[in-house]
Structure 1
Amino acid sequence: MAGRPGVVRGTTVGGMDGDRRGWRQCLLSGAVFAVCMVGTTLPTPLYGLYQEKFGFSELTVTVVYAVYAFGVIGMLLLAGNASDAVGRRPVLLAGLGFAAVSAVCFLCATGLGWLYAGRLLSGLSAGLFTGAATVYVIDLAPYGGASRATFVATAANMGGLGCGPLLAGVLAQYAAWPLYLPFVVHLALVAGSAAVLLWLPETVREPRPLSTVRPQRPALPSQVRAVFVPAATASFVGFALFGVFTSVSPAFLEQSLGVDNRAVVGLIVALAFFASTAGQLMVGRVGVGRSLPLGCAGLFAGLALLAGALRWDLLSLVVLSALVGGGGQGLAFRGALSAVAEASPADRRAAVISTLFVVAYVGISVPVIGVGVLTGPIGLEGAGLVFIACMAVLVSTAAVYLLRRPVRART
Structure 2
Amino acid sequence: MITSQSRGAVVATASALLVTMAGTTVPTPLYSIYAGRLGFTGLTVTLLFAVYAIGVVAALTAFGRLSDEIGRKPVLLAALACAGVSAVLFLLPQSLPMLFAARIVSGLSAGLMSGAATAAIVDLFPAERRAVGGALAVGVNTGGLAAGTLIAGIAADLSSAPLVVPFAVHLGFSILAFCAVWRFAPAPVDAGPLRIRPRKLRVPSSIRGAFVRAVLAGGSAFAVAGVLTAVSALFLAQHIGLSSHALAGFVVCLVFAGMAVGQIAARRFAPRPAMAVGCGGLAVGAAILGVALGAVSLTALILAAVVSGVSGGLCVNAGLATTVEAVEPARRGEVSSSYFAGLYLMLAVPAIGVGALSAGVGLQTSGLVFACVVALVSAVVGLVEAVSVKRSSPVFEAVG
Counterpart CA distance in 1 for 2:143 and 2:329 is 30
TM-score (norm 2): 0.91
Maintained 8 Å contact 1:292/1:332: yes
**Counterpart among 314, 320, 323 of residue 337 in structure 1:** 320
1:127 and 2:111 are equivalent in the alignment: yes
Which 10-residue stretch deviates more, 352-361 or 316-325?
A: 352-361
Query: What are the residue-to-residue correspondences of 1:320-331 with 2, within 5 Å?
Result: 320-331=303-314
Counterpart CA distance in 2 for 1:167 and 1:243 is 18
Maintained 8 Å contact 1:223/1:343: no
**Post-superposition CA distance 1:6-60 (Å, at most 9, x none):** xxxxx7xxxxxxx344324322321121011111111000000000111111011
Task: Return closer, same or farther for 1:216/1:283 CA change in 2, 3 Å cut-off.
Answer: farther
1:396 and 2:383 are equivalent in the alignment: no
The answer for unaligned runs of 5 or more in structure 1 is 2-10, 12-18
Task: Return closer, same or farther for 1:136/1:405 CA change in 2, 3 Å cut-off.
Answer: closer
The equivalent residue for 1:30 is: 14
Task: Return closer, same or farther for 1:150/1:203 CA change in 2, 3 Å cut-off.
Answer: farther
Counterpart CA distance in 2 for 1:144 and 1:345 is 14
Query: What are the residue-to-residue correspondences of 1:22-101 with 2, within 5 Å?
Result: 22-101=6-85
The equivalent residue for 1:382 is: 365
Across the aligned residues of Structure 1 and Structure 2, the Cα RMSD in angstroms comes to 2.4
**Post-superposition CA distance 1:328-354 (Å, at most 9, x none):** 111112212323457779876654554
Which 10-residue stretch deviates more, 258-267 or 332-341?
A: 332-341
Task: Return closer, same or farther for 1:408/1:130 CA change in 2, 3 Å cut-off.
Answer: farther
Maintained 8 Å contact 2:131/2:325: no
Which 10-residue stretch deviates more, 57-66 or 198-207?
A: 198-207
Maintained 8 Å contact 1:26/1:138: no
The equivalent residue for 2:238 is: 255
Maintained 8 Å contact 1:23/1:142: no
Task: Return closer, same or farther for 1:220/1:33 CA change in 2, 3 Å cut-off.
Answer: closer
Maintained 8 Å contact 1:140/1:203: no
The answer for unaligned runs of 5 or more in structure 2 is 394-400
Counterpart CA distance in 1 for 2:336 and 2:392 is 17
TM-score (norm 1): 0.88
Counterpart CA distance in 2 for 1:47 and 1:65 is 10
Which 10-residue stretch deviates more, 58-67 or 261-270?
A: 261-270
The equivalent residue for 2:135 is: 151
The equivalent residue for 2:261 is: 278
Task: Return closer, same or farther for 1:254/1:197 CA change in 2, 3 Å cut-off.
Answer: same
Local SS of the residue matching 1:256: helix
1:234 and 2:197 are equivalent in the alignment: no
Report the alpha carbon displacement of residue 288 of structure 1 after superposing the two structures with TM.
0.9
Counterpart CA distance in 2 for 1:230 and 1:265 is 31
Report the alpha carbon displacement of residue 235 of structure 1 after superposing the two structures with TM.
2.3
The equivalent residue for 1:357 is: 340
